[in-house]
Amino acid sequence: MRTILVSIVIVTLVGTASAADSPGTTGFQFLRTQVGARPAGMGGSFIAMEGDVQCLYYNPAGVATVTNRAASFTYMKHLLDFNFGFVGFVQPHLGPGNLGIGLSFMDYGDFKRTDGSGAVLGNFSANSLSLAATYSLQPVQNLSIGLSAKYIRAAIETYSADAVAADAGVLYHFPQWMLTLAAGVFNLGQPISAFITHKDDLPMSLRFGLAKKLEHLPLHLSLTFYRYQNEKWHGALGGEFTLSPQAFLRLGYDNVGRELEVGGNRDRFAGASIGLGLVWRNVHMDYALSSLGEVGTLNRFSLSSPF
């Protein structure tokens, strides 16, 4: 039992650090992990972006402007060799809006099971997942709204915890200014079962931001402010440069990186990110490198395509 409890603590702490957020008092910390290489390259500042399958995670309202059936896959090698993946799918024109499905999965690998004397009794595994169904539409011109219903599960050895939650978002576009404003609430819900007896709260967050295309530069800027329950406000700034119709360069910074500093030389990069996107025959291939300072770096790879 002691080994299992220690493993739960390790998983929770690493999940928090790798998501580049400050330590909180909630459970299901894997829900903070950024999805998609394109958004991650922009520092996670993506709430006011639209028309991308990865809006399933960042703002369900952004799914309303996806015009073709599309799918996206993301893989990331986490700290301590944890494996993270995301699969998303959007089917447009179902009724008045678009339907999306998103699955996030974290595999923490195998751990040694020992008794009180330290003798090895075998191995056990741990993993977490979130399955979301999203519906988004445009009730009036330039206004998008979206709602996601989620089932969440975390498991370690024979123990598991389950929860249900919802995301809700709104997005308004000002075409004359090439400006978009957005806001949303995420992971609003309740646990329905506990690992043992205590039910952990979900990492509920509030987010709002804007995105602006510059008139005389091939640059799309995005600014996001967010706050997790019982924590202070943070901000993230990202930019996407259009180098050509087939190539994109992305830069970003999340000021939560300051809370990851431990006094090393690489701390000055904590919270910064860079990404590259290429398009080949309608297949979008994206890569992002995110720095956690001395803690390490995260590499994300994504493939997206209409079909």
What confidence tens digit (pLDDT) does each residue in 244-286 have?
Answer: 999 999 999 999 888 877 677 788 899 999 999 999 999 999 9
Tell me the domain boundaries of the chain. 2-306
> Residue 26: which pLDDT band, with cuts at 50, 70 and 90?
confident
The percentage of residues in the chain with a pLDDT greater than 70, rounded to a whole number, is 92
> Residue 180: which pLDDT band, with cuts at 50, 70 and 90?
very high
The least confident of 17-21, 91-95, 151-155 is: 17-21
Q: Output the pLDDT for position 260.
A: 75
| E strands, the chain, in order | 70-77, 83-94, 97-114, 120-140, 143-156, 159-174, 179-191, 205-213, 219-228, 233-244, 247-254, 272-280, 283-291, 297-306
> Residue 23: which pLDDT band, with cuts at 50, 70 and 90?
very low
* Mean predicted confidence (pLDDT) in 205-212: 98
Which one has a higher pLDDT value, 38 or 197? 38
SS3 62: helix
Q: What is the DSSP string of 241-305?
A: EEEETTEEEEEEEEGGGGGG--S-GGGGGTTEEEEEEEEETTEEEEEEEEE-GGG-EEEEEEEEE
Q: Output the pLDDT for position 112.
A: 83
What CATH class is the domain 2-306? mainly beta
Q: Output the pLDDT for position 25.
A: 56
> Residue 1: which pLDDT band, with cuts at 50, 70 and 90?
very low
pTM of the model: 0.87
> Residue 288: which pLDDT band, with cuts at 50, 70 and 90?
very high
Report the chain's terminal Cα–Cα distance, integer Å: 48
Tell me: pLDDT of 13 over 70: no
* Mean predicted confidence (pLDDT) in 47-69: 97
What is the pLDDT of the chain when averaged over all its residues? Answer: 89
| Most confident residue range from 97-101, 200-204, 260-264, 268-272 | 97-101
What confidence tens digit (pLDDT) does each residue in 213-238 have?
Answer: 999 899 999 999 999 998 999 999 99
10: which 2 tokens?
């390790």
